[in-house]
Amino acid sequence: MKTIEDLRTTLGAHADHAGDPVARSVAVHKRIRRARTRRAGAVAAVAAAVIAAAGAIVLAPSVGHLPVAGMPRQVEALHFTYELADAEVLEVGADRHQLDVPAPSDDRQWGVVVRGADLGTGTATVFIDDEPVLRISGDERSALYQIPGPADGDITVKVSGASGGKVVLGIYERTGAIEGRALSDDGLVFPATYGGAKLIGGEFGDPDDTTVRYVFRAGDRPVMTAPVCLDPTGTFEVSYQIDGKEFGSGDCDEQWRDPAAPDLAIGSLLQPDQLSPGRHTVTAVATRRDGSTTPSEDAALHLGIAVYELGGQTDLGDMKIDEITEHDGRRWQVDRVIPISKTRAFSTEVATGDQPALFGYLACGGSASAHATSQELGQRAEGSTAMDSTGGCGYTVGDELLAYDTYDIALDSATETFDGALVIYRPVD
């Protein structure tokens, strides 16, 4: 089982090799509140376009609820619903331009929303554990930002360029509600959309089932399968088949989920483009390392399999990537592509304006690393990204770029020249 970055890379990019199967297996686990609803069966194709719209972040008060301190009681962010748990107000003055709130330190899932009032051209920037994550200006309200894991320090709001006004910081807790027509069972979730991909349907097995099948109808677009295999004993492997032909395999996840905060399970195995239209059967088979399929006696094996239709693609020349990706709790769409040709070092400025941005990059023929430096804050965005694409091409999504800033984005290789592209995304919502 790999990381969220692996999943973004797999769902965001795939090689364009006609006639050759492209099989990339990943699985991702994000903890959520308990959701024990179970649904099985196909999601109608005619509803897919409607379902896709549910992936956008909606910042509006729930019916029957009044805002608290100017904040909605409930928001939807990607696949889940969040409810307001607390709100803190900063009255901006000559000696009052910063607000510090202890970050939630438990294993539940949290998010933050910030709203300004009468800030004029001033800005308010939110920091989590000293890393900038959100910025608004004037009377704006931000989208929800998912707090990554248990935080170690404070949530800080810093106001600059404003002599008055106020800022409201809302802290939201994820509930058990799942948006859209997702598939879920005992806390495992296959969301209705992932990036630009749309759920066709899927199936979860009963505890100790070692085989799960789902029959679907392929159209004229490529499909991906999303498997999950949970095995706390660590004795099982899982393989994936379409119409009886194996096309991928991997280890089952040994870490059993916490019933109070179960996992979001989604992975991807990209099918060949020439998968014929019509009826197909996808199967997940769990096998003991000794070759048998006998269920474990002391702990439950849990299998699931789902099928997604690939969304729209952007052609980067050597690779195609999804037009829409997911990052930091929201959906992003490709805004522009900047080609890179035969260089060991590339840099450019990106001005974000009144909306945040996100960058990704393609590198072919050599290893490359990337980082973004904020001119407003005089510091790099959190961490840097690197990948080794020697002898081929690789694509990865980098850091989010805050609104009302200009960033210097640099890509470089320590060993050889590379070709590729810098991709700038903007929020879908």
Write the burial class of residue 259 (CB in 10 Å: 0-12 exposed, 13-18 middle, 19+ buried).
Answer: exposed
* Least confident window among 180-184, 225-229, 388-392: 388-392
> Can you tell me the mean pLDDT for 18-41?
26
| 140 has pLDDT over 90 | yes
Instruction: Give the model's pLDDT for residue 279.
Output: 94
Residue 292 has a CB neighbour count (10 Å cut-off) of 10
Confidence of residue 264 (pLDDT cuts 50, 70, 90): confident
Residue 73 sits at the vertex; the CA angle it makes with 71 and 75, to the nearest 5 degrees, is: 90
Q: What is the pLDDT of residues 310-363, one digit of tens each?
A: 999 999 988 899 999 998 889 999 999 999 998 989 999 999 999 999 999 999
Compute CA 402 distance to the chain's CA centroid, rounded to the nearest angstrom.
18
Q: Can you tell me the distance from the alpha carbon of 151 to that of 149, in angstroms, rounded to the nearest whole number? A: 6
Structure confidence at residue 28 as a pLDDT band (50, 70, 90): very low
CA 292 to chain centre: 36
Nearest residue to 417 via CA among 368, 374, 376 = 368
Q: Measure Cα distances from 400 to 345, 380, 397 in Å.
A: 21, 11, 9
The pairs formed by 289-292 with CB atoms below 8 angstroms and a separation of 24 or more are 289/235, 289/236, 289/237
How would residue 301 be classed by pLDDT, with cut points 50, 70 and 90? Answer: confident
Residue 116 has what pLDDT?
A: 96
At 419, list the tokens. Answer: 């070709």
Reported as a single tens digit per residue, the pLDDT across 46-102 is: 222 222 222 322 333 332 334 566 799 999 888 899 999 999 999 999 889 999 999
Which pLDDT does position 53 carry in this prediction?
26
Compute CA distances 91 → 52, 99, 101, 229, 270, whole Å. Answer: 39, 9, 15, 50, 51
CB 54 within 8 A of CB 180: yes
